Amino acid sequence: MSEKMWSGRFTLPTDKFVEEFNASVHFDNRFYKYDIKGSIAHAKMLAKQKIISDKDRDDIISGLEQVLTEIESGRFQWKTEDEDIHMAIEKRLTEIVGDAGKRLHTARSRNDQVAVDFRMYMKSEIIEIQALLAELLKAITEKADMDKETMMPGFTHLQTAQPILFAHWLMAYFQMLKRDFTRFEDCLHRMDYCPLGAGALAGTTFDIDRHFTAKELGFKAPTENSLDSVSDRDFAIEFLSAASICQMHMSRFSEELIIYSTSEFDFIELSDDFCTGSSIMPQKKNPDMPELIRGKTGRVYGSLISMLTTMKGLPLAYNKDMQEDKEPVFDALDTLKASLKIFAPMVGKMKLKPAKMEKSAGAGYSTATDLADYLVRKGLPFRQCHHIVGSAVAYAIEKGADLSELSLDEFSKFTDVITEDIYQFITVRASVNSRSAYGGTAKSSVVEQLNSAKKFLNEIY
Ligand code: ARG
Is residue 375 scored above 70 in pLDDT? yes
Give distance in angstroms: CA of 110 to centre of ligand 1.
6
CATH number at residue 414: 1.10.40.30
In a domain, 43, yes or no: yes
| Cα(13)–Cα(254) distance, integer angstroms | 53
**Which residue among 6, 7, 230, 318 has the greatest number of ligand 1 atoms within 8 angstroms of its CB, and so is best to mutate?**
318
Same domain as 325, residue 193: yes
In a domain, residue 53? The reply is: yes
- What's the burial of 454, exposed, middle or buried (CB within 10 Å: 0-12/13-18/19+)? middle
pLDDT at 319: 97
Q: Which amino acid does the sequence have at 78?
A: W
The band of 451, judged by pLDDT with boundaries at 50, 70 and 90, is: very high
- Same domain for 183 and 128, yes or no, is yes
- SS3 for the chain is CCCCCCHHHCCCCCCHHHHHHHCCHHHHHHHHHHHHHHHHHHHHHHHHCCCCCHHHHHHHHHHHHHHHHHHHCCCCCCCHHHCCHHHHHHHHHHHHHCHHHHHCCCCCCHHHHHHHHHHHHHHHHHHHHHHHHHHHHHHHHHHHHHCCCCEEEEEECCEEEEEEEHHHHHHHHHHHHHHHHHHHHHHHHHCCEECCCCCCCCCCCCCCCHHHHHHHCCCCEECCCHHHHHHCCHHHHHHHHHHHHHHHHHHHHHHHHHHHCCCCCCCEECCHHHCECCCCCCCCCECHHHHHHHHHHHHHHHHHHHHHHHHCCCCCCCCHHHHHHHHHHHHHHHHHHHHHHHHHHHHHHCEECHHHHHHHHHCCCCCHHHHHHHHHHCCCCHHHHHHHHHHHHHHHHHHCCCHHHCCHHHHCCCCCCCCHHHHHCCCHHHHHHHCCCCCCCCHHHHHHHHHHHHHHHHHHC
| Confidence (pLDDT) at 7 | 85
The average pLDDT across 391-397 equals: 94
pLDDT at position 99 is 96
Task: Give 106 Cα–ligand 1 centroid separation in angstroms.
Answer: 17
- Do 137 and 102 share a structural domain? no
Same structural domain, 281 and 351? yes
Which residue's CA is the closest to the ligand 1 atom numbered 2?
323
Q: Label residue 75 exposed, middle or buried (CB < 10 Å: 0-12, 13-18, 19+).
A: exposed
pLDDT digits (tens, 9 = 90+) for 5-35: 888 888 888 888 999 999 999 999 999 999 9
Report the C-alpha gap between 178 and 252 in whole angstroms.
Answer: 15
- The pLDDT, as a whole number, for residue 11 is 85
- The single residue of 73, 157, 279, 407 carrying the catalytic annotation is 157
C-beta 323 within 6 A of ligand 1: yes
Q: In which domain, by residue range, is 236 found?
A: 111-203+218-359
The answer, yes or no, to whether residue 126 has pLDDT greater than 70, is yes
pLDDT tens figures, 290-313: 999 999 999 999 999 999 999 999
Active site residue 86: no
The residue whose C-alpha atom lies closest to atom 3 belonging to ligand 1 is 323
Domain annotation covers residue 80 = yes
Final residue before a domain boundary, out of 63, 81, 106 = 106
Taking Cα atoms as reference points, which of 142, 160, 164, 141 lies closest to residue 151? 164
pLDDT at 379 over 60: yes
Question: Could you tell me if 115 and 101 lie in one domain?
Answer: no
CB 114 less than 6 A from any atom of ligand 1? yes
111 lines ligand 1 (CB under 6 A): yes
Pair 165, 244 in one domain: yes
> 209 in a domain, yes or no?
no
pLDDT at 1 over 70: no
Does residue 445 have a pLDDT over 70? yes
- For 266-274, what is the mean pLDDT? 92
In a shared domain, residues 293 and 345: yes
Please pick, among 7, 53, 278, 412, the residue that the annotation labels catalytic: 278
- Domain final position from 48, 72, 106: 106
The CATH number of the domain where 311 resides is what? 1.20.200.10
Total domains present in the chain: 3
What percentage of the chain exceeds 90 in pLDDT?
A: 90
pLDDT over 90 (residue 66):
yes
Please check whether residue 328 lies inside any domain of the structure: yes
Active-site residue flag, 412: no
- Confirm or reject: Cβ of 358 under 6 Å from ligand 1: no
Q: Is 404 found in the same domain as 259?
A: no
- Shared domain for 286 and 428, answered yes or no, is no
Distance 436 CA to ligand 1 centre (A): 58
Is residue 297 in contact with ligand 1, taking CB distance under 6 Å?
Answer: no
164 confidence band (pLDDT: 50, 70, 90): very high
Q: Is the C-beta atom of 28 inside 6 A of ligand 1? A: yes
Residue 308 domain-assigned (yes or no) = yes
Across residues 234-247, what is the average pLDDT? 98
CATH number at residue 91: 1.10.275.10
pTM (2 d.p.): 0.94
Assess whether 347 and 422 both reside in one domain: no
Task: Indicate if ligand 1 lies below 6 Å from the C-beta of 117.
Answer: no
Predicted confidence (pLDDT) at residue 2 exceeds the cutoff of 80? no
How much distance in Å is there from the Cα of 85 to the middle of ligand 1? 10
CA of 117 to the centre of ligand 1 (A): 12
Residue 208 lies in a domain: no
CB 196 within 8 A of CB 217: yes
pLDDT tens track for 34-59: 999 999 999 999 999 999 999 999 99
Q: Are residues 130 and 20 in the same domain?
A: no
Residue 210 included in any domain: no
Higher pLDDT, 159 or 3: 159
What's the average model confidence in pLDDT over 175-185?
98
Same domain, yes or no: 95 and 123: no
Give the model confidence (pLDDT) of 129-142 as tens digits: 999 999 999 999 99
User: Final residue of a domain: which of 294, 327, 359?
Assistant: 359
